[in-house]
Structure 1
Amino acid sequence: MQFDYYIGIDYSGRGEPTKRTSGIQVVEMDRDGQVSRISPNGLHGRTFSWSRKEVYDYLRNRLTEQKHRFVIGIDHSLSFPVTYFKQHDLSNWDEFLNHFQALWNTKVESVRDCKERVDDYPNHNELRITETFTASAKSAWNFEQKTGTVAYSTHAGLPWIYELRQSFRENLHNWPYDGWKPCSEKSVLAEVYPSLLYKRFRQNDPGFPLEWPRDAQDAYAIAAWLRERDLNGTLERYFEVSTLTEQEKQLALQFEGWILGVC
């Protein structure tokens, strides 16, 4: 097995960045399959609701532990369609992150407040290639969707991804932007889509936490899938995504990224 811990994060763009919401849940599994539904700030189960600032602090603290290797799955988009890069003359993902976090200050303000000062997207239904390979993924620009919108979580989360990128460039592999095959010494952060995993684990996993709320179950499904794939030796194949054409792989590597598990 490549990793010591498998972390699933179900994310939310609701409210202020320092306000806790039940829509943000964190689940860890270790190599042996021991499951922990994590509480923020060591609160030992008194609350399982997180703020986005607390999630960032938690990941920062975990990544500081050089003795363990983690794979982290988070359920918001890590990039935009390539048309956005062309419109703003951005040549790669790092330039995109720097541009985005300067435009959307969601480390301090709510998405809703920032949105009032930023121009609307020309096509709120535009998808990246990886999203067109699924049956139900929505655009990160679609703020009109009433429930489960990835737009709010993406716009709330990307500036924190930028901060992680700045702080842990040497020991965190941001997949696939740092390469399709992660370095064996680094932890990995990847975009996931728990709707692709949820029913499978709910139906077939005897340890599935039926008593947990859906957001926590989604975080569980992410962590369980990552561990299962690592345990049976197929996680590396999912990282490589050999089903893509060279043109698709280059587009994802440089600009749009990819959802781990989508083939």
Structure 2
Amino acid sequence: MPLFQKYIGIDYSGAERPDSRIRGLAVAGASGDGSCHLLICPQYKSDRNLSIPDSKSHLWSRRNIYIWLRDQLLTSSERMIVGLDYGLSYPLTALDRLQLTDWDSFLSWSRRTWKTTRLTMKDSKQQVDYLNSTEKRLVEREFVPSTKSVMDLDRVSGMQGAVSYSTHTGLPWIGRLRRYQQHYGMKVHFWPYDGVNIPDDHHVIVEGYPSLYRRRMQQEDWSDTMSEHERDACYIARWMQERDQADTLLAYLALPTLSADEHRMIRREGWVLGCL
């Protein structure tokens, strides 16, 4: 029996400002019947003082993704799983250097350090005494070695598209959702930071990796006009939907192949859904 009714894939970007509507952001939804569709950004009060060209009115900003996702998690009667295409924590070695003993202390540090809910990534970098690193988390070293480090902020090639930029512009918004969970009773489970055993009545937020899913799925009959970012959002949503409808998603969430020490590790540095 499927665990969820809705499957949301979000392809992220650290480009431009938090209120900029950009083509590098895409949100896709899949349902139990297997259909997958792109979601158009709603109009919010926060947009009223912004001059938005008609050609960009359907595009998402990072702030609007946060608002929309928060509202969905608070009000949706259909249980959903949300896959985000960026890192949600640092490698254990870096967390130890920063003396951050759990994920909540990491989120608090990230919120204090990176001002990317109001600044561009470039401007935020100029205010931070950060240490660039190519270190990787366990899941990246052993299971998806093609990924780049979430801490490699000085990459010259593809700088704006680097996962490190997406990570550092996405984490402060995750911190806000975490506070809603802790202080307002939002029924959402941050996997695997809250553990791998998920309450039946909670939505779930996971870290996804569209390239991993694309290689393991049959070719989809999606529109040729869809951008790479839109396709990646759809791959996240469709892979989760496909696995759940086949009753195999639970194993990916439970991670039975990891040792007890590895389970303790991923409560701090996280995991990519789809790796066993």
Give the TM bin, normalised by the shorter chain. over 0.9
Conserved in 2, the CA contact under 8 Å of 1:198 and 1:217? no
- Segment drifting more, 144-153 vs 177-186: 144-153
Match of 1:26 in 2: 27
Distance in 1, Cα, partners of 2:157 & 2:263: 32
Match of 1:164 in 2: 177
Match of 1:126 in 2: 135
Match of 1:150 in 2: 163
Match of 1:212 in 2: 226
Deviations 1:96-152 (A, max 9, x none): 101111110111111111111212325x21001011121301101112152231010
CA drift of 1:89 comes to 1.7
Match of 1:232 in 2: 246
- Segment drifting more, 236-245 vs 208-217: 208-217
State the AA in 1 paired with 2:122: R
Conserved in 2, the CA contact under 8 Å of 1:37 and 1:48? no
1:85 aligns with 2:86: no
State the AA in 1 paired with 2:150: A
CA drift of 1:231 comes to 0.3
CA drift of 1:48 comes to 4.4
Distance in 1, Cα, partners of 2:206 & 2:237: 12
CA drift of 1:65 comes to 1.5
Q: Secondary structure at the match of 1:40?
A: coil
Gaps of 5+ in 2: 45-54
1:206/1:91 CA distance change after superposition, 3 Å: closer
TM-score of the pair, normalised by structure 2: 0.89
Aligned pair partner of 1:223 in 237, 260, 272: 237
Q: Secondary structure at the match of 1:190?
A: strand
Match of 1:101 in 2: 111
Runs of 4+ in 1 over 4 A off after TM superposition: 45-48
Match of 1:54 in 2: 64
Alignment RMSD, CA only? 1.7
Q: Secondary structure at the match of 2:28?
A: strand
Conserved in 1, the CA contact under 8 Å of 2:111 and 2:171? yes
Distance in 1, Cα, partners of 2:215 & 2:57: 26
Aligned length: 258
Percent of pairs with identical residues: 36
Match of 2:273 in 1: 260
State the AA in 1 paired with 2:85: D
1:145/1:31 CA distance change after superposition, 3 Å: farther
Match of 1:14 in 2: 15
Deviations 1:15-35 (A, max 9, x none): 110001100000001111232
Gaps of 5+ in 1: none
Match of 2:189 in 1: 173
TM-score of the pair, normalised by structure 1: 0.93
Match of 1:197 in 2: 213
Conserved in 2, the CA contact under 8 Å of 1:106 and 1:156? yes
State the AA in 2 paired with 1:196: L
